[in-house]
Amino acid sequence: MVKIHLKKGDESQFLYETTVTAPVEEFLHDAVVIYNGRLKVDRICAEMEELAKHGVTLPPNMQGLTEEQIEELKLRDEWGEKCQPSGGCVTNKDTIGRRNGQAPNEKMAEMLRKTIKEAKDMISKANVDNNKFVTQATVKEALDILRGATMIVYPMGLPPHEPIKLECDNEEDLSGTQASLEVIDPNAAAVWFSGKEMMPGKKLCDYIGKNEKTKIVAKLQKKGLGAPSREPVVSQDQQKEMMAYYYKKQEEMKKLEVETDDSYLDRPWADGQQLKRQFQGLNNIKWGPR
């Protein structure tokens, strides 16, 4: 099986396993779905961390308002009253006024945090170094355990405007957010290998050869951005080792230059004509007036 190390820019994403006979469009579709799925898991995890701290999200018309403004406008968080955490809640005010401040108790909050960590580990970029593959099934499992954790803590369900619920129901609206810039449309995606774009209609073997025991680095990006930067010939660690080696050599050369200094030639014992002058009585001759 072919191992493909997927990157976006210079940043590692995940390891993907396939065969050399796989169509490029099949590989590209899978890669984009997994990439976008990992982003979804990260977004849900970020919201669940806030859920564990400050409870469910306030209705949009109440977010960012002070208690005085809410009271003056006679607004009421009916969904917050219905969607209470299992085992009771703990008051922890959200300083930015986005969530209702009715957090789950410590036991439930700890369960949410453990689930968040488990889901993040499943789709972590560190899996590349650990030689662990990420598939659509991996992403689905991570989403399932996150959904299951929220159902345990909030058996009455989450408010319809809660970002976690919208994400789990695939109804999220990312327009105007930074997250929308990271998501790649499957119909507008491109994958590059060795400075060439892999074109739909071809197979992977058209680009990487027929050896099934191949490992390559491919880069995922949006169409129309041109060729991504090529992979460096040496890694950062190798570059550091090379710099340390040449620095050591340079210091050794400096030391040798000091040791091979020819200043000793000015010493009397190094004078090759000294014996001759001694026989001729020409030593210790001084020139000048008496």
59 CB burial (10 A radius; 0-12, 13-18, 19+):
middle
Q: Is 244 found in the same domain as 196?
A: no
Q: What is the largest CA-CA distance in the chain?
A: 122
Is there a domain that residue 99 lies in? Answer: yes
Q: Is 179 found in the same domain as 141?
A: yes
- CA–CA distances in Å: residue 7 to residues 30, 41, 128, 156, 264: 14, 18, 10, 40, 61
Domain that includes residue 270, residue range: 236-279
Backbone angles phi, psi at 93, to 5 degrees: -60, 135
Q: Is 154 found in the same domain as 74?
A: yes
Q: Is 33 found in the same domain as 10?
A: yes
Is there a domain that residue 69 lies in? Answer: yes
Last residue of a domain, one of 192, 222, 252: 222
Is there a domain that residue 114 lies in? Answer: yes
Is there a domain that residue 288 lies in? Answer: no
Indicate the range of 123-137, 234-248, 260-274 predicted with least confidence.
260-274
Q: Is 50 found in the same domain as 23?
A: yes
219, 220, 217: which is closest to 183 by C-alpha? 220
Between 226 and 133, whose confidence is greater?
A: 133
Instruction: Label residues 87-101 b or e (16+ Cβ within 10 Å = b).
Output: eebbeeebeebebbb
Q: Is 154 found in the same domain as 118?
A: yes
Q: Using the predicted structure, report yes or no on whether residue 215 has a pLDDT greater than 70.
A: yes
In terms of phi and psi (left: phi > 0; alpha: psi -120 to 50; beta: otherwise), the region of 97 is left
pLDDT value at residue 189: 94
Q: Is 85 found in the same domain as 153?
A: yes
Last residue of a domain, one of 182, 197, 222: 222
Q: Is 248 found in the same domain as 148?
A: no
Share of the chain above pLDDT 90, in %: 64
Amino acid at 113: R
Tens-place pLDDT, residues 130-172: 999 999 999 999 999 999 999 999 999 999 999 999 999 999 9
Q: Is 21 found in the same domain as 154?
A: yes
Is there a domain that residue 104 lies in? Answer: yes
Q: Is 218 found in the same domain as 258?
A: no
Tokens of 64: 């960012």
Q: Is 268 found in the same domain as 147?
A: no
pLDDT value at residue 262: 59
Q: Using the predicted structure, report yes or no on whether residue 229 has a pLDDT greater than 90.
A: no
Is there a domain that residue 287 lies in? Answer: no
Is there a domain that residue 11 lies in? Answer: yes
DSSP class per residue in 42-109: HHHHHHHHHHHHH-SBPPTTTTT--HHHHHHHT---HHHHHSPPTT-EEE---TTS-B-SEEEPHHHH
Element (H, E) at 16: strand 11-18
Average pLDDT (72-100) is: 91
Amino acid at 51: L
Number of domains in the chain: 2
Last residue of a domain, one of 200, 222, 244: 222
Q: Is 78 found in the same domain as 176?
A: yes
Tens-place pLDDT, residues 163-197: 999 999 999 999 888 999 999 999 999 999 988 99
pLDDT value at residue 100: 93
pLDDT band at 235 (very low <50, low <70, confident <90, very high): low
Q: Using the predicted structure, report yes or no on whether residue 290 has a pLDDT greater than 60.
A: no
Average pLDDT (27-51) is: 96
In terms of phi and psi (left: phi > 0; alpha: psi -120 to 50; beta: otherwise), the region of 115 is alpha
Is there a domain that residue 65 lies in? Answer: yes
CB 24 within 8 A of CB 203: yes
CB 6 within 8 A of CB 14: yes
Backbone angles phi, psi at 87, to 5 degrees: 85, 10
**Overall residue count recorded for the chain in this entry:** 290
- CA–CA distances in Å: residue 225 to residues 28, 34, 83, 198, 207: 16, 21, 45, 14, 20
Q: Using the predicted structure, report yes or no on whether residue 45 has a pLDDT greater than 80.
A: yes
